[in-house]
Amino acid sequence: MTEATIERAGYAIGEAAERSGLSRDTLRWYERIGLLSSVGRDHTGKRRFTERDLDWLQLIGRLRTTGMSVADMVRYAELVRAGESTIPERLAIFRRTRADALARIEELNQTVAVLDYKIELYEGTVGTHCEGTTV
């Protein structure tokens, strides 16, 4: 891809920040730590983000939602750049992350059940003025 193609096809950092929901500083930091490595530059040296970069940022956002550490995301990015021989390790990362996410979902489901119970309890006491109830 030529510089002129990158400039036309890409998004300036402000546009990429808006589209990704991340700040400009976060985008720069991601690039600096190696989480985002393929950002092109235009003829003046300004970053130009492609749709592929935005897709990558969306994946990183999903991984953050799972609670994956930045260090693990950087490791994953390194593995992707290293090529197909790293697929088994990438698969292990995703399996572990999936198991962690399912555990968090179960914990949240239990929390919702407690909240539902308390809501039902309090809805049943509205207007009855239960004195001395603290929990």
Q: Are 31 and 39 in contact (CB under 8 A)?
A: yes
Q: What confidence tens digit (pLDDT) does each residue in 44-91 have?
A: 989 999 999 999 999 999 999 999 999 999 999 999 999 999 999 999
pLDDT at position 124, please?
87
pLDDT at position 33, please?
95
Please give the full DSSP string across 15-32, using - where no structure is assigned.
HHHHHHT--HHHHHHHHH
Phi, psi at 29, each rounded to 5°: -65, -45
Higher pLDDT pick, 135 / 124 = 124
How far apart are alpha carbons 58 and 55 in whole angstroms?
A: 5
Taking each helix axis from N to C end, the angle separating 70-82 and 87-125, rounded to the nearest 10 degrees, works out to: 150
Per-residue pLDDT at 5 exceeds 60: no
Is 90 exposed, middle or buried, given 0-12, 13-18 or 19+ CB atoms closer than 10 A? middle
The mean of the pLDDT values for the chain is: 89
Per-residue pLDDT at 2 exceeds 60: no
